[in-house]
Amino acid sequence: MNESALLKLLDHICGTVSVVGSMNADYTVTTEHLPGPGETVVGGPLRVLPGGKSGNQASAAARIGADVRLFGAVGSDINADFLLSALHEAGVDTSRISRVDGASGTTVITVDEAGENTIVYSPGSNAHVSVDYIQSMRDDLTSADVLGLCLESPMETVTACARLCHEAGLKVLLNDSPFIAELPGELIETSDILLVNEHEMAQLLGIDEPDDDDWDGLDWSSMAQHMHDFGFEQAVITLGGDGSVVIDGDDIHRIAPVKVDAIDTTGCGDAFMGTVLAGLAAGHSLANSAQLASYVAAYAATGLGAQASYGTAAQVRERFSVM
């Protein structure tokens, strides 16, 4: 599909997305370079921005037009209202989010002048997203078209979500992030699509990474077979600035990167995931959804922060239609 036709898919984002997981207040500082062990560096002004992988994914999907429901928990601190307000502004339905005593989830992020980052995650209220809570939300959770999961919630909760939605006939997209090499068998069995980066794929499948970082030269047919043997007929492998690869049964699609001058890559992977969820909910193919996600994620890289950098469908279309 050519670029013009692909971007027109942004006019046809519909369907309902359920996202279960995390919301975090991101404490972000920019520096000339990332500090090494024991090193102190001088940073710019501290910014507190809305984040959390699940909140980010929900926000990205909602901003481009999907009907998005987020399930999770915030704390009793000042960050709770801040996070909910940002999600509401993005168009996310937050009515099912619970409140618990204590701190909301937080991250401490350092971003260098090249847009690379380091992140430290403190779960806070995200650790209280329980199986009982998910069971109480069963009807609302399963009356969607697709479910998005990451691993910033307790594993038993993530697995329960996948099982409930799989049994209800939803397409389940699992983002193995923060990365865990040993995924529970039940989670693999009840998830339909796996989203990982190239390094995570290598660890999961027990393969050697190419010495020259030449992922294009990899035997992707062999990788697809390894992925099938692992338990996934469909998968998306992101390659950073080199685009992505979509495995869809026996078909392999190489998705070209969208080049921009990056300011901050924080949350770009979540923008990618959220767009894939929105595309699938709208009935688009996995390959077209991932191709569209490349544009949405590239747009996000041109702004600071995660949710704060996400564009609407109109903004993304306008940014890249003139290239």
285 is in an annotated binding site: no
Q: Is the pLDDT of residue 119 over 90?
A: no
Report the 10 Å Cβ neighbour count for 304.
16
Please give the pLDDT value at position 92: 98
Query: What fold, for 14-318?
Result: UDP-N-acetylmuramoyl-L-alanine:D-glutamate ligase (3.40.1190)
56 is in an annotated binding site: yes
pLDDT band at 134 (very low <50, low <70, confident <90, very high): very high
Q: Is the pLDDT of residue 227 over 60?
A: yes
Mean of per-residue pLDDT scores for the chain: 94
End-to-end CA, the chain: 17
25 is in an annotated binding site: yes
Please give the pLDDT value at position 183: 96
Comparing 216 with 70, the larger pLDDT belongs to 70
Residue matched to tokens 């998306």:
236
Q: Tell me the average pLDDT across 225-239.
A: 97
Cα–Cα dist 22/249, whole Å: 30
Range 106-126 burial, b when 16+ CB lie within 10 A, else e: bbebbbbeebebeeebebbbb
81-99 pLDDT, tens per residue?
999 999 999 999 999 999 9
Cα–Cα dist 321/323, whole Å: 6
Q: Is the pLDDT of residue 125 over 60?
A: yes
Q: Tell me the average pLDDT across 105-130.
A: 91
Q: Tell me the average pLDDT across 231-257.
A: 95
55 is in an annotated binding site: yes
Angle at 240 between CA 120 and CA 244, to 5 degrees: 130
Please give the pLDDT value at position 57: 98
**H, E, C per residue of the chain:** CCHHHHHHHHHHCCCEEEEECCCEEEEEEEECCCCCCCCCCCECCCEEEEECHHHHHHHHHHHCCCEEEEECEECCCHHHHHHHHHHHHHCCECCCCEECCCCCEEEEEEECCCCCEEEEEECHHHHHCCHHHHHHCHHHHHCCCEEEECCCCCHHHHHHHHHHHHHCCCEEEEECCCCCCCCCHHHHHHCCEEEEEHHHHHHHHCCCCCCCCCHHHCCHHHHHHHHHHHCCCEEEEECHHHCEEEEECCEEEEECCCCCCCCCCCCHHHHHHHHHHHHHHCCCCHHHHHHHHHHHHHHHCCCCCCHHHCCCHHHHHHHHHCC
259 is in an annotated binding site: no
Domain map of the chain by residue range?
Answer: 14-318
Least confident of 27-36, 137-146, 274-283: 27-36
Please give the pLDDT value at position 179: 95
Please give the pLDDT value at position 214: 83
Cite the active site residues.
Answer: 270
How many Cα atoms occupy the beta-carbon half-sphere of 56 within 13 Å? 30
Q: Is the pLDDT of residue 323 over 60?
A: no
155-209 pLDDT, tens per residue?
999 999 999 999 999 999 999 999 999 999 999 999 999 999 999 999 999 998 8
Query: What is the reported pTM?
Result: 0.93
Q: Is the pLDDT of residue 2 over 70?
A: yes
Q: Tell me the average pLDDT across 61-80.
A: 98
Please give the pLDDT value at position 322: 59
**What is the torsional sign of CA 163, 74, 177, 257?**
positive
> Percent of the chain having pLDDT more than 90?
83
Amino acid identity of residue 263, one-letter, is I
